[in-house]
């Protein structure tokens, strides 16, 4: 795990319930990843652009922060 995101996770306090224990979750391509719009032979197409990392409260489940990994 990237140390940068571990530090963010450890410093985050939930904006909903005040919880201080966070987890890191991911959305992978095919399961909700961010897509970028392109064109293919004049029609709209979507190409996988990145995965999403989320900082999630262990107490209430709120996604407090999310980050996109560019490819």
pLDDT of the chain, 71 residues: tens digit per residue: 578 889 999 999 999 999 999 999 887 666 555 566 666 676 666 666 677 889 999 999 999 999 877 55
What is the residue whose two structure tokens read 């407090």? 64
Contact (Cβ atoms closer than 8 angstroms) between residue 31 and residue 54: no
This prediction has a pTM of 0.70
Contact (Cβ atoms closer than 8 angstroms) between residue 53 and residue 5: yes
What values do phi and psi take at 56, rounded to 5? -120, 135
User: How far, in Å, CA of 47 to CA of 59, rounded?
Assistant: 35
């Amino acid at each position: 795990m990237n140390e940068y995101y571990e530090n963010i996770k450890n410093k985050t306090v939930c904006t909903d319930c005040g919880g201080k224990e966070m987890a890191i979750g991911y959305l992978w391509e095919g399961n909700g990843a961010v897509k970028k719009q392109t064109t293919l032979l004049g029609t709209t197409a979507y190409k996988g652009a990145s995965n999403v990392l989320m900082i999630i409260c262990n107490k209430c489940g709120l996604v407090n922060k999310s980050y996109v990994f560019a490819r």
